[in-house]
C-alpha cells in the first residue's frame, strides 16, 4: 500500500527512538525504541527499522520527509555522535531511506520545537512566578549528555538557537565542587558541564567523591547511585545527587542570565524525571537564584521540569511541519 508518510527520530548516546507518521501528524502509534550499543553500524538499524515499519503499517513506499534529531553537531555532511560509536553521512542516509527531503538537526533543537507543543499536564513548575511574555526561553536537559538550547519569540512565531552549551566549562560554586572538578580534570584534562550534569556525570561525581575521601567505589552505574540516594542507604550517593541537583541549578541560573530567559527555563532530558520529588526539594532552586546582585532578577523566572517522555520525537515532527 502506498501512503504519504514521514519518519522522525530522536537519537541520543544510549537510545534511538523513531516514529512513523502520516503526513501532517505530530504523534503516531508507530513508535520504536532501540539501544544504540546493540547496533555496531547505524545503517544496519535503519534497514531493520524500515522493514519493521513496512510490516507494522503496510506502507511499501519510502517516507517523503525525514527528520532525525541527533545528539551532536548537525551542520556538516558527516554526522559523528558525541557519546556513541555511530557515524553516518547525510547523503548516504538519504539514499538508503529513499526520501525526498532529509533534515538532520541537533537533538535539543528538536526539544525546543517540542516545548512549543506542551501543555500544563506535561510540566511541573519549580519556583518562580508567571513567565514574561515575548521573552527568551532557556532549555537544558540531562541524558547521556547535556543539551542546551534557546527559544526566541518573534511576531511570526519563534526561532530556535541550538547550541553546544553542555560543553561549556563547569564552574564550581563551593570547595567540594572544586575538589571534584580537580579530580575529574586529572582524569579528563578539561571538565565541561556535561562531565557532571548528565547520566554519566552522576557517576563521575560519585567516583570523584569516593576518590577524594578514600572511600571504596560501591556503585557502577548512575541508576545504582540514584537508587541508593533515594532510599537513603548510602551517604556518598546522597551527597552525589545533592551536588548534581545544585550544579543543575547553578547552570540553569547562568543560562537564564545569558539568554535573558524571562520566559522561563525548561528542564528536559531523561535523567531528572527519575528523581522528580528529590529534585524539587533539593538545593536546585536556591542555587538557581544564588547569583549575588542578580538574585532579584532570577527570583521571578519560572523553571519547568518537563515530564513528557517523547519530546524529541514531537519536536522533530514539528520541524517537518515548519519546512
Per-residue pLDDT of the chain (323 residues; tens, 9 = 90+): 678 999 999 999 889 999 999 988 999 889 999 999 999 999 999 999 999 999 999 998 999 999 999 999 999 999 999 889 999 999 999 999 999 999 999 999 999 999 999 999 999 999 999 999 999 999 999 998 999 999 999 998 899 999 999 999 999 999 999 999 999 999 999 999 999 999 999 999 999 999 999 999 999 999 999 999 999 999 999 999 999 999 999 999 999 999 999 999 999 999 999 999 999 999 999 999 999 999 999 999 999 999 998 899 999 999 999 87
Task: Give the pLDDT of residue 83.
Answer: 87
Task: Give the pLDDT of residue 3.
Answer: 87
Angle, CA of 177, 179 and 184, to the nearest 5°: 95
Task: Give the pLDDT of residue 230.
Answer: 98
Cβ atoms < 10 Å from Cβ of 205: 29
Q: Do 9 and 105 contact (CB within 8 A), yes or no?
A: no
pTM assigned to the model: 0.93
What are the structural domains of the chain? 5-107+311-322 (3.30.420.40), 119-307 (3.40.367.20)
Contacts of 145 (CB under 8 A, 6+ apart): 12, 13, 71, 82, 83, 166, 194, 198, 200
Task: Give the pLDDT of residue 60.
Answer: 87
Task: Give the pLDDT of residue 322.
Answer: 86
The H-or-E segment that residue 146 falls in is strand 146-154
Q: How far apart are CA 293 and CA 278, in angstroms?
A: 28
Amino acid at each position: 500500500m502506498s501512503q504519504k508518510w514521514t519518519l522522525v527520530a530522536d537519537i541520543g548516546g544510549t537510545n534511538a527512538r523513531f516514529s512513523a507518521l502520516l503526513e501532517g501528524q505530530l504523534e503516531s502509534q508507530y513508535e520504536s525504541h532501540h539501544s544504540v550499543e546493540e547496533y555496531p553500524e547505524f545503517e544496519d538499524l535503519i534497514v531493520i527499522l524500515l522493514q519493521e515499519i513496512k510490516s507494522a503499517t503496510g506502507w511499501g513506499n519510502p517516507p517523503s520527509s525525514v527528520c532525525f534529531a541527533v545528539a551532536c553537531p548537525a551542520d556538516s555532511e558527516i554526522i559523528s555522535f558525541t557519546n556513541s560509536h555511530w557515524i553516518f553521512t547525510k547523503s548516504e542516509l538519504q539514499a538508503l531511506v529513499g526520501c525526498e527531503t532529509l533534515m538532520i538537526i541537533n537533538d535539543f533543537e528538536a526539544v525546543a520545537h517540542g516545548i512549543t507543543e506542551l501543555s500544563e499536564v506535561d510540566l511541573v513548575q519549580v519556583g518562580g512566578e508567571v513567565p514574561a511574555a515575548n521573552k527568551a526561553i532557556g532549555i537544558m536537559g540531562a541524558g547521556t549528555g547535556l543539551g542546551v538550547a534557546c527559544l526566541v519569540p518573534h511576531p511570526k512565531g519563534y526561532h530556535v538557537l541550538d547550541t553546544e552549551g553542555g560543553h561549556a566549562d563547569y564552574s564550581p560554586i563551593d570547595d567540594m565542587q572544586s575538589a571534584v572538578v580537580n579530580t575529574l580534570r586529572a582524569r579528563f584534562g578539561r571538565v565541561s558541564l556535561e562531565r557532571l550534569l548528565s547520566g554519566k556525570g552522576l557517576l563521575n561525581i560519585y567516583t570523584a567523591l569516593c576518590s577524594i575521601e578514600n572511600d571504596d567505589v560501591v556503585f557502577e552505574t548512575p541508576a545504582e547511585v540514584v537508587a541508593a540516594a533515594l532510599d537513603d542507604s548510602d551517604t556518598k550517593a546522597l551527597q552525589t545527587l545533592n551536588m548534581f541537583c545544585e550544579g543543575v541549578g547553578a547552570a540553569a541560573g547562568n543560562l537564564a542570565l545569558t539568554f535573558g530567559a524571562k520566559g522561563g527555563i525548561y528542564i528536559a532530558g531523561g535523567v531528572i524525571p527519575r528523581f522528580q520529588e528529590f529534585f524539587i526539594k533539593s538545593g536546585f532552586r536556591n542555587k538557581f537564584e544564588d547569583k549575588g546582585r542578580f538574585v532579584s532578577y532570577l527570583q521571578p523566572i519560572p523553571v519547568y521540569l518537563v515530564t513528557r517522555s517523547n519530546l524529541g520525537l514531537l519536536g522533530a515532527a514539528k520541524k517537518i511541519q515548519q519546512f
